[in-house]
Every structure is written in C-alpha cells, then in structure tokens.
Structure 1
C-alpha cells in the first residue's frame, strides 16, 4: 500500500501506522516552507511508526534530520507521540495550542498513577460496575502506569496562536482554534490557491476535527487537579464546526482516512448527527439513568456487549459530554440524592 501521497503545491501526506487500532494510521502531512520542511503531526510513538515516518519523509525528498518544525493539531498520542524523537533527531521546534500544551506539561509532571486513580473515581461516580473498575485498580497496583502512551512526547517550545499567520516564510498558514475533540485542538488553514485550481479558500489541515467518514470522539475535558471545572466540549465542538463550515475551503486534508472536498456538506452531516444523538438521549432520559446506563443504551458502531474495556470508558465520557450539553441547554438535570448520580429529562 502506498504510504506517501503528493497533494501538490509542496504538500504530502504520510500514512504512519497506529499499532493495534482500527483507525489503521495517522496521516502526517509534510509542508515545504522556505526555512525547511515542516510536519503537521507526527504519529504514534512506536518503532514501526518511526520507520514508516522516516521512510515517508525520505520519499518526499528530504530527511527527518532536515525537518524545520512540527505543528501539532492536538496532544493525542497518535498525533504528538513521535514529536520527541523528531526533535531529538532534527532539532526541530514543536508548536501546539496553549490549552493542549498545558495538558502535555501536566501529564509529564504528574505521578503516572494519578490519572488511573482519577479515572477510576470518575467512572465509579458515573455508575460503572466493579468488573469495569477492576482492571484499572490492577494496573495501578502493578505499576503498569509507566507504559501509558504519550509520556515520551515532546514538551512544546512554541505556541500556536489562533488567528495569526504562522511564522513560516513562503507560506500563508493560519491556525483556527477548534476545541471539542481536545481543549486545544487547532485546524491549520493553508490560505493559498489550490494547486488544481479548485474553487474555494485554499486547503485545511483538519486534524481530527473534520473527518470524511467518521465522527471524532467528543468526551469530557479531564483535569485531575481541577475537578470543579465544568466544561462543555460538545458545545465547543459544534461551535467550532460551524466556524469551519463558513470558511469555504476547497479541500480538507484530515489526519485520518483521506482528503476530501465539499467540507460544508460534511459539517452539516456532523451537526445533524449530534442533534439526533441529543434528541435520542432526551428520549432515553424519560426515566432516571446514570451516565454508565446512558452509554449502555446509546447507539454505537457495535452492540455494547462487543465493545472492549477501553472503548467503554471512552463511550461513557462521550455520553457524559452529550449529557452535559443537555443540562446546559436546560433539557436535563441531575436527580437529587443519587449515588451514583442519575439524570432525567425535564
């Protein structure tokens, strides 16, 4: 299978594999600039992924050693994972939005087991059964927390400031803040004529924000050190989608699947999808349910019984994000006195 695709105008994509993941690969993009080549994302921290990235960069006519910088769309390990090794090899700078840079610094500074403790407590409060919590407690007790992904990712040394042209001579690249998938997710707008002269305002490196055939995960923004903060990631995502839909780009270069055109139509599909989910959730909440019970009853890409442990945790977080949106809109509320807490439509 071809690992490198040339998109024209000094832009390539490299299919960097994600081990043991149904997504298959991350599309790492390489952009020619006057000071040198720049990557958009890096891929998962894995030996095979590194070899594929290095071979792909070579197929684009350069080397990892010659990379000038890395623009990270968001902090997840399939995007930011190899940034540390890229910087070690090339000396490239690493840039990220401040909100996600904060997550990276927090993760590096914390004792690794802190996250598992927080996650287990949060899932218990959401109504998760003991058999779901047991593997988290076992991992904490065994010390396997040192293998959590993302711990080797680079601390960013530059900030991506939304709205400003990035300091990349020879290119017009502007960041657009698109929170939702993560608090600091950014899309990068290459505001230049499309090389095939497609109508529209250039091209968009969309990260995970806008994908052609799948819906990105929208879960709660977690901060173990600030549990009192109440965020609305789904509301953030929907607002961000509408901003991107109005941009009018000719082509989208996402981090998964494939490049595509007509982004406004895809934005409309995603807005409709989440509106339908919120409507279905209001119907489910005719009787009080815990977040875990809500997740069990929501529609996923497979029956709940076939969803593996880690994906169930993600599903509960996504259910909570939709639930939090309903509460903010005044369509649901917590039932007083429940332990774990239950919610009901109003």
Structure 2
C-alpha cells in the first residue's frame, strides 16, 4: 500500500501536494486533487468522483500528506463536473468544510438537484433528434428513464467564487480567474506566491480542465434542460485561453495528467488547434450537414465506429459548439426549412 500511495501522492513544494483520485471506467484515469496548506488547515482544490474506491483513495492520500478528511478547512471547486465535485459533499460531512464554486456552475448544481432524471433523458432525446441522430442511437434513451445518473445529487456549494478576488485562505494568496468554456462557471486559481523552486514566471496556476498538458478539453454546448440561452462556449473558451496565457504562471497544476511549465506555449497550441479545426469544418460544410453528420466526419482520437455510445453524444455536442462559433463568425448558416436543421458554409 505504501508503494501505491507513493505513486498517488506528490509533494509540489510550498505547502501544495496532490492526490491521484481514480475515475471509474474512464480513460482519463484519475483526477488530481490538490491539498493546499493554509493557516486554518488544509484546503482542497477539487475532490474527485463520488465512488467508494475514490473516497478511500482520497482518505489514504490525505493520510500520506499528514492530515485526514476531518481536518479539511475548505473545498474550492474548479467546475461542477462529477470527477471534480463528486466527493465534495462527503468531505463537508466529515469535516464541516465550506465548499466554494463560481455562481454560474452553482446554478447548474442547483437545477440538477431539482430536475428528475426523466427530464434529462427527454431533453437529450429531443436534442439528439434535432441534431439529426439516427433512431438506433436515440432509442436507448427512450427506455433508460429509471437509470440513476452519476452526479445527479451534487452538494450545494455554500460559498461563491468571485472572479478577480482572492479566496479566503488565511496565509495564502489564491486569486480566482473566470475561465468559461468547458463549463460556464469554470475557474482557474492563481497562487500569487513565488514558486518554491524559483522557476521563472508569475506564481502557480491550478488550471482544472481549462489547460491540460497533452489533451484538449471537451468544449460542447452548456447542457441544461431549463436554460434556453444561446451561448458560445467555444468563443468563451478561446477568450479564456488568451486571458490565462497573459498570466504567464511559472507552473501549471492541472486536474488531469501532470504538472507542466510554459503555459503560454500550451495556450498557443490550443488556439492553433481550434483555428485549424474550424477551418476544416468549414471545408466539410461545403455541402449541408446536420450536427450528427458533421460529428461523424470530424477527426477524433479514434474512428467513429470505435467511439462508445456516451462519447458519441459528447462528440455531437462538440460539433454543435463549433457550428455555433462558425455561425457567430458569419462562416456558416442554417439552411432555411431543413428538418433536422442542416448547416452550410458561407
């Protein structure tokens, strides 16, 4: 067990450590939960997936850090997804810790708790029909209404993360940077302190899913059955990337994979990636396509036939986010009278 924990816990110096909390049945493998020492006790940045093995791993990792769940002073959540916010409620129950989240994601948590699972399945069915998905893909949603959804009863945050302000972490300077795109209320957290190894740059950045070293975060439509606002998540993400790049932190501490340096270079890579993808999609839209047809033709990390069912829904949402961006830029438009709606390059 000690050998395993040595692989799960890492000391990043300056009173910051990380615990690798597993995500069940997910290729990402784990969420990096950061443990930040403060004058009032340790504070967690994210908590991991709500699963018994994940909970045990978090508890064992905290013990290896010289603390335990009962000593946690607060929990700062980068965004509402269950691999980040899932264990927050259990941490609060065990310790009395506060939970902080940006208001936009707190609103999603609140509506999620108030929405019956059947409403989500109906919503997804309607969305996929509108996107042009074939009946064989939609059919399972019509008969899956009783199935429990992960993260359907997330903990309600009791503190609001205000962009641009320092969080209430005695003895630390941790400033919230609003970075919408992956979710509407995603935040990065800028630790405005000298790097413990004196690396060049401005402090350290807890980047959540916004900035990852080797993979591109999923940017889809903001899923919410009770909010019909027409948003532009990809536009939000690209703007947020540029804002983070200007921070020029000495080191980035992401929620997945591993820590890295040169955030500005990674930002440039991601901006170029999305610019190239938008250009490629314009070429695909030389003839009218539904969002589903566009997703099938887009380049993914594996052939479409090998993409699992749930991941296809995510892929369609990502195609729709890119379509919405192209429409906003005036590079594509909906074909009048088409049903389901098709889009064509302009």
CA distance in 2, matches of 1:177, 1:317: 22
Question: For 2:193, what is the secondary structure of its paired residue?
Answer: coil
What's the TM-score, normalizing by structure 1? 0.98
Matched, 1:90 2:91: no
Equivalent residue number for residue 40 of structure 2 = 35
Q: Choose from 5, 10, 14 the match for 2:10.
A: 5
Give the match for residue 151 of structure 1: 152
Q: Describe how 1:99-248 pairs up with structure 2 within 5 A.
A: 99-140=104-145, 143-144=146-147, 147-227=148-228, 229-248=229-248
Q: For 1:81, which of 81, 86, 102 is the aligned residue? A: 86
Q: Is the 8 A contact 1:84 1:152 kept in 2?
A: no
What per-residue deviation string (whole Å, max 9, x for no partner) do you get for residues 225-254 of structure 1?
Answer: 232x11000000000000000001000000
* 1:259 partnered with 2:259: yes
TM-fit CA distance, 1:152:
3.5
> What is the alpha-carbon distance in structure 1 between the residues aligned to residue 225 and residue 256 of structure 2?
29
Q: CA deviation at 1:313?
A: 0.2
Q: Which residue of 1 aligns with 2:333?
A: 333
Structure 1 residue 82: Cα displacement: 0.4
**How many Å apart are 1:104 and its aligned residue?**
0.3
Runs of 4+ in 1 over 2 A off after TM superposition: none
The alpha carbon displacement at 1:40 in A equals: 0.2
**Distance in 2 (alpha carbons) for counterparts of 1:222 and 1:42:** 22
* Structure 1: distance between partners of 2:149 and 2:120: 10
Matched, 1:284 2:284: yes
Tell me the distance in 2 between the aligned counterparts of 1:253 and 1:67. Answer: 20
Q: CA deviation at 1:224?
A: 1.2
Q: Secondary structure at the match of 1:271?
A: helix
Q: Secondary structure at the match of 1:225?
A: coil
List alignment gaps of at least 5 residues for structure 2: none
Matched length = 341
Q: Output the CA distance in 1 between the equivalents of 2:19 and 2:327.
A: 41
Measured in 1, the distance between the counterparts of 2:185 and 2:345 equals 31
The alignment status of 1:324 with 2:324, answered yes or no, reads yes
Shift of 1:222: 2.1
